[in-house]
């Protein structure tokens, strides 16, 4: 946050009035943005009720639709998967692969 003592204001009263008008314009914009955020939450919750999709999943997909960023998302997903695969497949020389088969019944020692 700016130190109040270092804020330089114009000395011209007309410019001060312009700033005051800009404050009102800025405030009105913030009010509209908050209202739109509430509307987006309403839509996401409605889709949960009507279609069973979780609101957070709906938001991800709707934001992808809005931004036209499907390809970017896919590339990011691929990068994450590539990184994961590299991490989990890395072994030191001579290291034996750990068995992590989730279907192994550890209670049954046949």
The reported pLDDT for the residue numbered 40 is: 97
The CA dihedral of 4, 29, 48, 79, to the nearest 10 degrees, is -70
Render pLDDT for 51-62 as a digit per residue (tens, 0 to 9): 999 999 999 899
Q: Is residue 60 part of a domain?
A: yes
Sorted by sequence, the CB contacts under 8 Å of residue 58 that are 6+ apart come out as: 43, 44, 47, 48
Q: Is residue 102 part of a domain?
A: no
Domain count for the chain: 1
> Which CA distances in Å does 46 have to 42, 49, 55?
6, 5, 9
> For every one of its 110 residues, what pLDDT tens digit does the chain have, with 9 covering 90 and above?
556 678 999 999 999 999 999 999 999 999 999 999 999 999 999 999 999 999 999 998 998 888 888 888 888 888 888 888 888 888 888 877 666 655 555 555 54
Instruction: Report the interhelical angle of 13-51 vs 55-67 (nearest 10°).
Output: 120
Q: Is residue 94 part of a domain?
A: no
Q: Which domain holds residue 76?
A: 24-89
* Model confidence, pTM: 0.56
DSSP code of 4?
G
Q: Is residue 33 part of a domain?
A: yes
């Amino acid at each position: 946050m700016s130190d109040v003592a270092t804020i330089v204001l114009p000395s011209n009263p007309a410019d001060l009035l312009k700033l005051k008008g800009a404050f009102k314009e800025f405030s009105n914009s913030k009010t509209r943005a908050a209202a739109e955020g509430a509307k987006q939450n309403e839509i996401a919750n409605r889709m949960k009720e009507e279609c069973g999709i979780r609101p957070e999943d709906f938001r991800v997909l709707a934001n992808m639709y809005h931004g036209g960023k499907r390809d970017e998302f896919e590339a990011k997903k691929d990068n994450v998967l590539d990184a994961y695969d590299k991490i989990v497949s890395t072994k030191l020389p001579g290291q034996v692969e750990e068995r992590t088969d989730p279907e192994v019944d550890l209670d049954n020692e046949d």
